[in-house]
Amino acid sequence: MTAFSTSQVTTPQNIPPADSKARVSQFMKKLQDDICEALEQLDGSATFREDSWERPEGGGGRSRVLREGGVFEQGGVNFSEVWGDHLPPSILTQRPEAAGHRFYATGTSMVLHPRNPYVPTVHLNYRYFEAGPVWWFGGGADLTPYYPFAEDAAHFHKTFKQACDAHYSEYYPTFKRWCDEYFYLKHRQETRGIGGIFFDYQDGQGQLYRGPDVNGPAGVYSASIGDLKPRTWEDLFAFVQDCGYGFLSAYLPIAERRRGIEYGDRERNFQLYRRGRYVEFNLVYDRGTIFGLQTNGRTESILMSLPPLVRWEYGYQPEPNTPEAQLYEVFLKPQDWANWVTPVGNV
């Protein structure tokens, strides 16, 4: 990934307020609390175990893990807040102007691995970073189904599009394309799931896309919009809050709808096989995993996103005209889910 720069000079309008760290930290903790409470109600039998941890260089967090539940085989919802003198290489490569400054980073991340193969795995992460004059918000949420339901994909995307549209009409089309790009396994030449939204390095200046592929769909779309009117720290914080709080509305109806569908060994084995893609992505590409390990974070918390059970199969090919084949042929390719319409006669 190459570094980017913005031509704008830091002005009073885009300087974070004096209480920025405290406010974002409070929001991230509340987001963790709200999500955990709702997931325990949905699961019905398991509760989250919390482990608080401290980072020797500064900061810490609280990791919450739910295991062997009625709906979730394993799920983790983490909050972290770290600071220190030495920026990790993953940050300096992208934002070299942050060099020489103390840094602060906070965020909430979540991964849920359901037991029933018809309930999709889901991921969420929202984060905030400061280092001297450099600051930004990042994050998003994406859905990884094992068995495809178009209405589920449409609901997930429409919910986040609504949250984005409340702030700026070009957020969703840009960040949806960025999500498709980010959660792409290059070595498999397939997306991890049906996407959602993803954004990073949002500081209210310049163009929306700040990723490595300026010639990809997200980069081209962002360039066609051009530089946006400057947005303040408050503008972006409000946007991130709406996206974070929108998660439960996006995911809970899907999980409720699919949790009772009967399944057998075929569906379970396919779920475990597809979970392997999740492992591959998180260990090879995931930016949060890399940042956490480079900043000496708590390893158990960083790797809580991995599923408890997984399998790999050499040279797997889905049988034609099966739901598994439909997943590969349609759902693992970018689609315009936010504008999907239920066909007449279908429920």
The residue count for the chain: 347
Count the neighbouring beta carbons within 10 Å of the beta carbon of residue 39: 25
Q: Are 123 and 141 in contact (CB under 8 A)?
A: yes
Q: Rg (Cα) of the chain, in Å, rounded?
A: 20
CA gap 284, 279 in Å, rounded: 8
CA gap 274, 255 in Å, rounded: 18
Q: Are 29 and 79 in contact (CB under 8 A)?
A: yes
Residue with tokens 């930016």: 287
123 is catalytic: yes
Name the catalytic one among 86, 113, 123, 157: 123
Q: Using DSSP, state whether 124 is helix, strand or coil.
A: strand
Q: Where are the alpha helices (DSSP H) in the chain?
A: 20-43, 89-94, 150-165, 171-182, 217-225, 233-245, 247-258, 265-284, 287-294, 299-302, 323-326
Q: Which residue numbers are catalytic?
A: 123
